[in-house]
Amino acid sequence: MKKILLIATGGTIASRHSGGGLSPAITAEELLGCIPGYQTFCEVDTVSPFSLDSTNVGPDQWMILTDLIERKYDYYNGFVICHGTDTMAYTAAALSYLIQNNRRPVVITGSQRPIDLEDTDARTNLLDSLRFSCDDRAYGVNLVFGGQVIAGTRAKKERSKSYNAFSSINYPPIAVIQDDRLAFYIDDKFKVTSPLKVSHELDRRVFLHKLIPGETGRVLDAMRDSVDAVIIESFGVGGIPDDGEGSYFKAIRAYVEAGKQVVMATQVVNEGSDMSVYEVGRVVQQEFQLPESFDMTLEACVTKTMWALGQTRDPEAFRELFYTPVNHDLLFVPKRA
Taking phi over 0 as left and psi of -120 to 50 as alpha, with beta for the rest, 10 belongs to left
Measured over the CA atoms of residue 124, residue 101, residue 325 and residue 88, the dihedral's sign is positive
164-169: long-range contacts, CB 8 A cutoff, minimum separation 24: 165/85, 165/112, 166/85, 166/88, 166/89, 169/269, 169/270, 169/297
Q: Count of H helices and E strands in the chain?
A: 9, 17
Whole-number Å distance between alpha carbons of 210 and 315: 23
DSSP 89-142: HHHHHHHHHHEES-SS-EEEE--SS-TTSSS-SHHHHHHHHHHHHTSTT--SEE
Give the number of other CB atoms < 10 A from CB of residue 240: 25
Specify whether 297 is catalytic: no
CA distance 85 to 128: 16
Among residues 9, 12, 85, 109, the one annotated as catalytic is 12
Q: Rounded to an integer, what distance in angstroms lies between the CA atom of residue 103 and that of residue 122?
A: 26
In angstroms, the CA 211 to CA 136 distance is 44
- Residue 79 CA to residue 188 CA, distance in Å, equals 19
Strand partners, 5: 45, 79
Catalytic residues: 12
